[in-house]
Amino acid sequence: MMEFKITKLTPDDMKHVKMMVQELAEFEKMPNGPKLSIENFQADLKSNHFFGFIAMSENNEPAGMALCYMAYSTWEGPFIHMEDLYVRPSFRKSGLGKKLVVAVCKEAKDKNYQRVQWNVLDWNPAREFYNKLGATNLSEKEGWLAYRLEPEQISKIASQEI
């Protein structure tokens, strides 16, 4: 059985984070990937815009990560949004994904947050893993859909009078 060392992210981990975010983007058929540099990731981590965990293999190779940020619900207060959960292909089916989710849930419990939430593409085979965890599919159960404003729409709307 493979052993992993899971630690909270530090600025020194950002080279591994950028690499894994790019791998995840390619897996998700978004090869243009992240527009952020290693320095952007480091600055954002230091500014507490996000936090997370990195898993290193026995050979000190990056094996996976969970990137999160604190969000807020007007019904329940602060919660964790898990932006990225990624296990590199050679480490899948090793239990690492669950270990990373355990680390995130321990953080939520320590801070008394009421939930951990994330989005997943409808074709992603990780949905089976999330179902086994007991996660709720909010689209099926409550009908929630995700919307986003891109920079062009933000600029157009922001140029209007309040």
Q: Two tokens at 98? A: 């669950």
Angle of the 38-46 helix axis to the 14-27 helix axis, nearest 10: 110
Q: Any idea what the Cα angle at residue 64 is, between residues 114 and 42, rounded to 5°?
A: 80
113 catalytic per annotation: no
Between CA 23 and CA 35 the distance in angstroms is 13
From the number of C-beta atoms within 10 Å of its C-beta (0-12, 13-18, 19+), residue 19 rates as: middle
Catalytic residue, chosen from 69, 72, 113, 130, is: 130
Active site residues per annotation: 130
